């Protein structure tokens, strides 16, 4: 192998400005590492702005403050119960251990307003979902971007294309080849590499190859996710796990592209089409997404009253603070709601009738029992490909594994580039995506810092 001429050097090169990449950069830099963060687009944060980014953290101080007894091993058991054999216990245990120190770090180091969510445990055996600020992922993205951009040991560059990973004669990853733009000259940067890119739900060819069952459902998301990190890792010898695990949502809001995680139909919301006809909201996410895509305009509407809205606000702060105010239409009467949404009033009235009349409230009067309590709310939704849960195989230190299960020296992965800890079954548990991204980021940063010479760390 020809000797590489390095134009620049860093202790850690983070490929991808996702929240996982930003967190890893700050965590490593705080411990003395020189970090170069490279992002292909002009914006940092990936698709976090449209996500709640709740973190499933077990054994946190926020749980202890309200008397919740929990520990990482319980989270792992919940993962195994949901995901079965798809769960790698070693990696799951390592990631679960990062939850409590991560939410403490976000609160103390990054000044993030972290809260423990009460009420619905979202499939977990304990209340362990921690919010990431008033606006969810948008707030998390903002505080991590600020921390990375202002750090003296983090160099952030956007609009940079990473063409390939550079490997030495032993097979170790020793750097990257980059271009500032498509017409720029390729340069080589030395350093260990963390792949922190998105998955591949936006790449039609990869989805057709690995998840053919959902190829007909389009991708909608806040950032392009075309599998660049996966490609780079595979070309460097990385192996993969569960590439067929893909996540589809039937309830992606229009506008906003927010996924509604709170179970509105279970709380009493009804699902109707443009003609006001009732749709069955109890089928699987994929089947329901296909049903909605088959409706006129490829859309449906979740309609609910103020009683349902009140419960939903209490269950999910992201729904209360972001989704409801930004995407829902409100009306006092059914006629006004139908007019705003251009839904057939006759069909909607016929569908709503079994649920009782829309009540009229006297000023200052108590809400009567029965019927629909105004204001009425409606959210336009569609079915969409949302995420891929498979990716590069990693170990408990976030190191990418080769075909023989051995770590590739100098190469780490996090965010959707790495296989999710829970698999498709674990996808039913909220808070795993953020835990996976941030947990693997912390593991990679700690492993990287431990390998540095004493004077560097």
Instruction: Quick: pLDDT tens for 214-243.
Output: 999 999 876 778 999 999 999 999 999 999
Lowest mean pLDDT among 26-35, 84-93, 192-201: 84-93
Q: Could you report the per-residue pLDDT of 38-77, keeping only the tens digit for each?
A: 999 988 998 888 889 999 999 999 999 999 999 999 999 9
* Least confident stretch, 19-23, 47-51, 121-125, 161-165: 121-125
- Three-state DSSP at 312 gives helix
Burial of 22 by CB count in 10 Å (0-12 exposed, 13-18 middle, 19+ buried)?
buried
Looking at residue 357, its pLDDT comes to: 85
Please tell me the distance from the alpha carbon of residue 322 to that of residue 53, in angstroms, as a whole number. Answer: 12
All domains of the chain in start order, with CATH: 8-245+389-450 (3.50.50.60), 248-358+370-384 (3.90.700.10)
* Closest C-alpha to 55, from 3, 142, 124: 124
Q: Are 428 and 123 in contact (CB under 8 A)?
A: yes
CA distance 105 to 99: 10
The answer, yes or no, to whether residue 6 has pLDDT greater than 80, is yes
Rounded to the nearest 5 percent, the helix, strand and coil shares of the chain are 35, 20, 40
| pLDDT given for residue 1 in this prediction | 43
Instruction: Give the integer Cα–Cα distance in Å for 334 and 234.
Output: 54
pLDDT at 333 over 80: yes
Q: Is the dihedral of CA 113, 116, 119, 122 positive or negative?
A: positive
pLDDT value at 179 more than 90: no
State yes or no: pLDDT of 364 exceeds 80: no
Between CA 25 and CA 300 the distance in angstroms is 41
Please, which pLDDT band fits residue 133 given cuts at 50, 70 and 90? confident
Question: How confident is residue 82, by pLDDT bands cut at 50, 70 and 90?
Answer: confident
Residue 343 structure tokens:
């839904």
- Contact status, residue 385 vs residue 201, Cβ threshold 8 Å: yes
- Among 102, 95, 137, CA closest to 27: 102
Under 8 Å CB-to-CB from 10, ≥6 apart: which residues? 34, 35, 36, 155, 189, 190, 191
Please provide the average confidence, as pLDDT, over all residues in the chain.
92
Q: What is the pLDDT of residues 397-434, one digit of tens each?
A: 999 999 999 999 999 999 999 998 876 655 568 889 99
**Which among 35, 13, 37, 23 has a CA at the least distance from the CA of 101?**
23
What average pLDDT does range 162-190 have in this prediction?
89
Mean pLDDT of 165-187: 87
Between 93-107, 140-154, 351-365, 373-387, the lowest mean confidence (pLDDT) is in 351-365
| Centroid of chain to Cα 115 | 18
Residue range 34-38: mean pLDDT, rounded = 98
In this prediction, residues 8-28 reach a mean pLDDT of 97
pLDDT at 420: 86
Query: What is the rounded average pLDDT of the residues 18-42?
Result: 97
Q: Which two tokens stand for residue 296?
A: 């006129």
Give percent of the chain with pLDDT exceeding 70.
94
Tell me how far apart the alpha carbons of residues 217 and 312 are, in angstroms, rounded to a whole number.
27
| Range name among 144-148, 328-332, 429-433 with the lowest pLDDT average | 429-433
In three-state secondary structure terms, 56 is: strand
How is 155-224 classified by DSSP, letter by letter?
EEEES-EEEEEEE-TTS-EEEEEEESSTTSPPEEEEEEEEE----STT-HHHHHHH-GGGTTSPB--SS-
Identify the pLDDT of residue 163: 94
Q: What pLDDT score does 219 carry?
A: 93
Average pLDDT of the residues in 108-119: 91
Is 50 exceeded by the pLDDT of residue 147? yes
Which run of H or E residues covers position 39? strand 35-39
Alpha helices in 200-316 (DSSP H): 204-210, 228-235, 264-267, 285-293, 306-315
| Secondary structure letter of residue 405 according to DSSP | S
């Amino acid at each position: 192998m020809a000797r590489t001429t390095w134009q620049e050097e860093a202790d850690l090169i983070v490929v991808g400005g996702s929240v996982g990449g930003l967190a890893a950069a700050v965590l490593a830099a705080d411990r003395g590492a020189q970090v170069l963060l490279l992002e292909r687009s002009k914006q940092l944060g990936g698709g976090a702005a449209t996500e709640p980014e709740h973190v499933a953290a077990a054994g946190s101080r926020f749980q202890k403050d309200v008397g919740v007894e929990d520990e990482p091993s319980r989270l792992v058991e919940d993962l195994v119960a949901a995901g079965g054999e798809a769960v790698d216990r070693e990696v799951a245990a390592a990631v679960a251990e990062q939850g409590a120190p991560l939410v403490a770090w976000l609160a103390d180091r990054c000044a993030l307003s972290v809260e423990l969510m009460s009420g619905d445990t979202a499939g977990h055996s304990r209340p362990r979902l921690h919010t990431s600020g008033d606006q969810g992922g948008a707030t998390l993205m903002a505080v991590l971007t600020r921390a990375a951009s202002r750090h003296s040991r983090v160099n952030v560059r956007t609009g940079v294309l990473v063409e390939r990973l550079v490997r030495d004669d032993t097979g170790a990853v020793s750097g990257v080849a980059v271009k500032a733009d498509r017409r720029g000259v390729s340069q080589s940067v030395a350093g260990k590499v963390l792949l922190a890119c998105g998955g591949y739900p936006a790449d039609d060819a990869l989805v057709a190859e690995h998840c053919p069952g959902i190829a007909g459902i389009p991708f909608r998301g806040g950032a392009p996710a075309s599998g660049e990190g996966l490609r780079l890792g595979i070309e460097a010898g990385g192996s993969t796990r569960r590439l067929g695990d893909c996540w589809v949502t039937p309830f992606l809001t229009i506008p906003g592209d927010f996924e509604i995680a709170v179970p509105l139909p279970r709380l009493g919301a009804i699902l109707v089409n443009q003609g006001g006809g009732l749709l069955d909201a109890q089928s699987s996410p994929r089947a329901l997404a296909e049903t909605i895509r088959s409706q006129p305009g490829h859309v449906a509407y979740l309609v609910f009253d103020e009683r349902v809205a009140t419960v939903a606000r209490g269950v999910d702060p992201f729904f209360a603070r972001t989704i409801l105010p930004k995407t829902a239409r409100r009306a006092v009467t059914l006629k006004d709601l139908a007019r705003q949404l251009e839904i057939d009033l006759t069909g909607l009235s016929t569908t709503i009738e079994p649920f009782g009349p829309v009540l009229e409230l006297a000023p200052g009067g108590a809400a009567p029992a029965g019927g629909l309590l105004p204001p009425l709310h409606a959210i336009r939704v569609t079915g969409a490909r949302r995420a891929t849960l498979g990716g590069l195989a990693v170990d408990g230190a976030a190191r990418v594994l080769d075909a023989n299960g051995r770590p590739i020296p100098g190469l780490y992965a996090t965010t959707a580039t790495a296989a999710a800890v829970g698999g498709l079954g674990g996808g039913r548990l909220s808070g795993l995506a953020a835990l996976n991204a941030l947990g693997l980021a912390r593991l990679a940063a700690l492993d990287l810092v431990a390998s540095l010479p004493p004077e560097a760390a």
